[in-house]
Chain A
Amino acid sequence: LGVSRGLPCAQGPLSPPSSPPTVTSEQIEHLHRRFKQLSRDQLTIRKENFDSIPDLEFNPIRGKIVHAFFDKRNLRQESDGLADEINFEDFLTIMSYFRPIEMNMDEEQLDRFRKEKLKFLFHMYDSDHDGKITLQEYRNVVEELLSGNPHLEKESVRSIADGAMMEAASICVGQMGPDQVYEGITFEDFLKMWQGIDIETKMHVRFLNMETIAHCY
């Protein structure tokens, strides 16, 4: 992989070429260590490897998150579908979706940055890869999201998803005619829904104090 201690690959060959390099060598080193830990010193990670992370177990949308790591759309491969295994570069690509915002980004970069993050999210919701979040898909997500609350009845959960969907429809389409059909949230609609909410400051993880590594198993 070419990433190991001391090898200076700081200037981010691993982050997508379009975006500025933000993952530093230190962080890459850390992530690589972590990668090896997860893959048990293999070159690739398979889905099962994620089972060894104990804290992930309680995450209600764990399946969707792990899935996202193997989603080829997120890995910037032209093809669609699911990868069986990912290598370290893929791993880093996924991680790079969670880079924090940079001070020196200009408007255009920010916009692209934002879109990338949203795309990741969108793919997570759009589980059948048809470019639309349908009601059923949305319901599934909401159901998983709220599965942490054992008291919430299924019916409530469903109504919430329905309500959210209607809200989305009203945002994106506005008044619908009686015979109009809203099939699902497209990515454009998705962007519309996020207008005004600065996702940049929300969807990021600090890859800094990497020394505090939580141990697997």
Chain B
Amino acid sequence: GERSSGSPINSSHSQSFAIVSFKWEHVKDPYVITLWILVASLAKIVFHLSHKVTRVVPESALLIVLGLLLGGIVWAADHIASFTLTPDLFFFYLLPPIVLDAGYFMPNRLFFGNLGSILLYAVIGTVWNAATTGLSLYGVYQTGIMGKLNTGLLEFLLFGSLIAAVDPVAVLAVFEEVHVNEVLFIIVFGESLLNDAVTVVLYNVFESFVTIGPENVTGIECVKGIVSFFVVSVGGTLVGIFFAFLLSLVSRFTKHVRIIEPGFVFIISYLSYLTAEMLSLSAILAITFCGICCQKYVKANISEQSSTTVRYTMKMMASGAETIIFMFLGISAVDPNIWTWNTAFILLTLVFISVYRVIGVVLQTWILNHYRMVQLEIIDQVVMSYGGLRGAVAFALVVLLDGHKVGEKNLFVSTTIIVVFFTVIFQGLTIKPLVQWLKVKKTEHREPKLNEKLHGRAFDHILSAIEDISGQIGHNYLRDKWSNFDRKFLSKVLMRRSAQKSRDQILNVFHELNLKDAISYVAEGERRGSLAFIRSPSTDNMVNVDFSTPRPSTVESSVSYLLREKAGPVCLDMQALEQRRKSIRDTEDTVAHHTLQQYLYKPRQEHKHLYSRHEIMHSEDEKQDKEIFHRTMRKRLESFKSTKLGINHSKKLNKIHKRDRGQKRRNSNVIPNGKIPSENPVQDFTLKEKDLEFSESEENNDYETFHLGKGVDFLANVTKQNFTDTPTGIDNPVFSTDDDQSVYMKFSPWLSSEDTVVPSQRARVSIPYSPNNFRRLTPFRLSNKSIDSFQLADGPEDRPRSFLPESTHM
């Protein structure tokens, strides 16, 4: 009920009723956990204050050291090791987010392209490591160097199997900072993920062998072990795939519950983990494959915002879990009760795991290189051997051992801690210099290029065709078949219909590029301190309330006049871009806003007063993305064409005019465009009003935003109706030469139009004319012309006539 802090204690000590009471015990557990998380997070902040430190020392190592310190402090104060990394905590709460993150953001193509190598390293490599380490330790034990230990062969093998596995958490933590090339990374990382099944099986098998005693181990038991490996790995994978399917299917129908949409991703994939655990299958495999398989469909289905939410939440949880794991590893080590020192055993373990890792990698790579297209060179092998980090999985497994059955549990625990610390701290520290020294090929981060994507796509098809022609079944063949299957069946079931359309990688790159253009365009304008340069009194820069509707023209001057008094702050909020600008120059702002409105489609609006738990208000249109493409693209093309075709002849314009008209009529439903002559004063008036309303709504009125839609609809209806029987026209002979040339050169071409509009003095002064001010997005040449003219323009005959800018309204 009451808050336990804040007010001075004025409670009576009577037994009846305490106004304030101190209930530490009541909140203790969650309180301490939260505090630990806070400490770990704060530590991260501190680490990153100094770039020098984090560049040299991996974060995981720092966290372990921090954990050791904190554990020491707690120990000094309390003399109990209150918080350790328990297997339950680790396997149920800390590991899943990390693995899910890995799976969900797995570069699938790379992963499946190298699946063969990954599997070999994960399965054979892990078995090899486990067997050789266990057997060698046992062999050395027989010589007596280690003294008397209460163990047999099976215990050694059990220990070998738990120490053998390369740990995904540690590998990810270290390799993320090293930036080796992607093939190398995916092989090491993939191995660490997929070896879980092997580890689990080996661990379970040997644990049960230890339990039943060495004398009862028969051949049948061993066969059972091998069978169980297949069951565990294939079963785990299947569970993952099943839940991925389920998740994709669910995400198809979450359109109306946008707020909880991201939750499904986490809940269902966590369920896959728990289910696999319940069936004693490989849980890591399950959640990995759940992430891998669902990513394509989920990303396509959920909204942009949800996708961002998922991305950030997942990264946050994974990185938080990782932080806690390493810190707790450090803390757990501070507990005298678990420490048993045996120099020979510990040192030999370190030596054996390193040496056998190297031997294993070299042997397997030698085999693999016979089959691999891109060979793994010696440098790669060194990094792979060196990257065999052990981590929290091994620690959790060793803690899980039953002290009654395994006599030397404490020794095993101590050794594991030493091994983990050694690999994470020492190898983690040295791997970066090593990679630099060996000049390992690194990843380079490049901007996505449209051409690259296109050619990449072409490659896929060419290669699979060549494989078809040469008559063999290779990677490309399989990939081709799979993508066909995916397109024909899976996507149809698992993707929203709208997503099926727009979901194309090439389209995505295109989208990104366009967004960048738009953003840089605005940024450029801001850099110049004014957005006036995009102002144009021509029709097109007017408020485009809804791009799917045609707009009447010729009201601009009056509109801008009215707007001048009514402008407010502009708020543009897009994922990557958050800009807020308040300016005295109201008009410019307004115009800027309209331009943004036009180019970025619909900026998200501010929601100040309304609270709803279930919805974040935004009127988003599914078509938004695509429309932005087309719009910006056409702009870009216009300027491109202008540079390409140079000059056109306005005399011919009229001809085309007429020709176009027919075409436009036909297309009018799709691409309504064209100007509507000024004989519609009534409409013009409506428009003005709407515009005003619109700009006002931006300012402060949430209420207005609601009604905006209706207004727009109304407008749309009127104009549409009107549109059909008005001849469309070209009002902006941008590149017509002869007489007007000089004028066009002086002022931006888009300023001049045939109709009555006269650019304001200010505009004349402030608008730069050059179309090449911006790298990609050349300034807008706005006019009313459908793209059809481009088709015409591309026709073989009378090419020079036309570069006709098209409509800005779609």
Contacts and interface: CB of A to CB of B under 8 A. Distances in A.
A175 B771 CA distance: 10
Given A178-B771, A206-B373, A145 B646 contact: no
A98 B463 contact: yes
A168 B473 contact: no
Contacts of B457: 145-146
A110 interface: no
B461 A59 contact: yes
B510 A214 contact: no
Contacts of A180: 643
Contacts of B450: 160, 163-164, 167
Nearest to B370: A208
A50 interface: yes
Nearest to B769: A178
A194 to B, nearest CB: 8
Contacts of B476: 205
Contacts, number: 182
Nearest to A155: B630
B642 interface: yes
Interface residues of A, number: 74
A55 B468 contact: yes
Interface string B762-787: 00000000111001100000000001
Contacts of A197: 452
A162 interface: yes
A209 B470 CA distance: 11
A79 interface: no
B630 A205 contact: no
A53 B469 contact: yes
A180 to B, nearest CB: 6
Contact of B466 (A98, A146, A148, A160): A98
Interface stretch (A3-11, A13-21, A60-68, A70-78): A60-68
Contacts of A202: 456, 459
A97 B787 CA distance: 40
A214 B471 CA distance: 5
Nearest to A151: B501
A163 B510 contact: yes
Contact of A178 (B375, B463, B770): B770
B626 interface: yes
B454 interface: yes
Contacts of A213: 471-472
A150 B256 CA distance: 27
Contacts of B56: none
Contact of B470 (A95, A145, A182, A204): A95
A160 B630 contact: no
A61 B462 CA distance: 8
Highest count of chain A CB atoms <10 Å: which of B375, B472, B506, B771:
B472
B26 interface: no
Interface stretch (B86-94, B307-315, B633-641, B722-730): B633-641
A176 B772 contact: yes
A95 B461 contact: no
Contacts of B455: 121, 194
Contacts of B787: 155
A172 B809 CA distance: 32
Contacts of A177: 643, 772
B502 to A, nearest CB: 8
B451 A212 contact: no
B646 to A, nearest CB: 6
Given A193-B451, A205-B474, A163 B513 contact: yes
16 contacts: A30-B472, A37-B471, A53-B469, A61-B462, A100-B373, A124-B462, A135-B644, A135-B794, A145-B461, A159-B637, A163-B514, A170-B775, A176-B643, A178-B642, A201-B374, A216-B471
Given A55-B468, A146-B457, A214-B468, 9 more contacts: A30-B470, A34-B469, A37-B471, A58-B484, A141-B454, A152-B501, A159-B629, A163-B514, A165-B640
Ranked 8 nearest A-B pairs via Cβ: A151-B501, A159-B633, A55-B468, A34-B471, A164-B450, A65-B465, A162-B637, A213-B471
Interface of A: 30-31, 34, 37-38, 50, 53, 55-56, 58-62, 65, 69, 95, 98, 100, 103, 121, 124, 135-136, 141-142, 145-146, 148-149, 151-152, 155-156, 159-160, 162-171, 175-183, 193-194, 196-197, 201-210, 212-216
